[in-house]
Amino acid sequence: MLNAVINREVEYRDLGKMDYKEAWDYQTKLFEGIIGVKLKNRPLPEEEQEITKNYLLFVEHPHVYTLGKSGDQANLLINEQMLRMHNASFYKINRGGDITYHGPGQLVGYPILDLENFFTDIHKYMRSIEEAIILTLREYGLEGHRFDGLTGVWLDPNTPKARKICAIGVKTSRWVTMHGFALNVDPDLKYFNHIVPCGIQDKAVTSISKELGRKVSLEESKEVAREKLAEVFQMKIS
């Protein structure tokens, strides 16, 4: 059931470079704030209900590995000492999916949306994020695709050359979303060697810069991704 008053305005916040735990706490506060408004609205007549807000956070993290609630820690291939050697941290977190890596040169996006302002369909939500990333890649002349049965965006799926360029993992409660996507723009791809990315064996990981053979800036990719998210979700980003 959609909200009585639909709000498709989304407040965009560029967090710059931020520690993973700090960003996680930040998005949790926004996420819980929206849920709080929804709970307060529940007993009220329509004319007294508060409109729920939506946010889009873009951030770049220091080296970090995160393991989703359904993930297997065996997919982290290095121990605590080696994590310190590589200046990386590790967190078990409350999103879906398995293990992934975040780091400098990667565009991490956290849409914190009340889906009752858009559509109440988690499958459609995941596919819509994928679509926005596919459209973003197309601006760089790259053809991103979905991979049957797997979440995220890939190049040359269903072939021996399949390689992942964007990971997606989310949490939802009362139709409010948090966590999101990680698009490899120009990260150090060697860091993926220390995990089984997303728990998927024998599949490569790539980046926009690697595919194009030139450095692509994070700032440039932010503009493109923001525009495509707005287009797919029919958001008004402020």
- Tens of pLDDT, residue by residue over 76-116, are 998 889 999 999 999 999 998 889 999 999 999 999 999 99
198 is a catalytic site residue: yes
For the CA atoms of 221, 223, 225, 231, what is the dihedral angle to 10 degrees?
A: -160
Residue in 91, 76, 73, 107 with CA at minimum distance from that of residue 28: 91
What distances in angstroms separate CA 77 from CA 13, 91, 100, 112, 190, one per listed residue? 34, 14, 12, 31, 13
Catalytic residue (one of 165, 198, 205, 208): 198
Q: Looking at the 3D structure of the chain, how many domains does it have?
A: 1
1 is a domain residue:
no
Phi-psi sector, 48: left (phi>0), alpha (psi -120 to 50), beta: alpha
In a domain, 34, yes or no: yes
Mean pLDDT confidence for 8-23: 98
Residue 85, amino acid: M
Q: What is the span of the domain harbouring residue 60?
A: 9-237
Q: What is the pLDDT of residue 203?
A: 77
Domain membership of residue 3 (yes or no) is no
| In-domain check, residue 148 | yes
Give percent of the chain above pLDDT 90.
84
Which SS3 state, helix, strand or coil, does residue 177 take?
strand
Q: How confident is the model at residue 178 (pLDDT cuts 50, 70, 90)?
A: very high
Residue 80 burial (CB count, 10 A): 9
Which residues have C-beta within 8 Å of that of residue 120, sequence separation ≥ 6? 1, 2, 175
Asked if the structure places residue 69 within a domain, the reply is: yes
In single-letter form, the type of residue at position 38 comes to: K
What 3-state DSSP class applies to 49?
coil
CATH number at residue 32: 3.30.930.10
In a domain, 4, yes or no: no
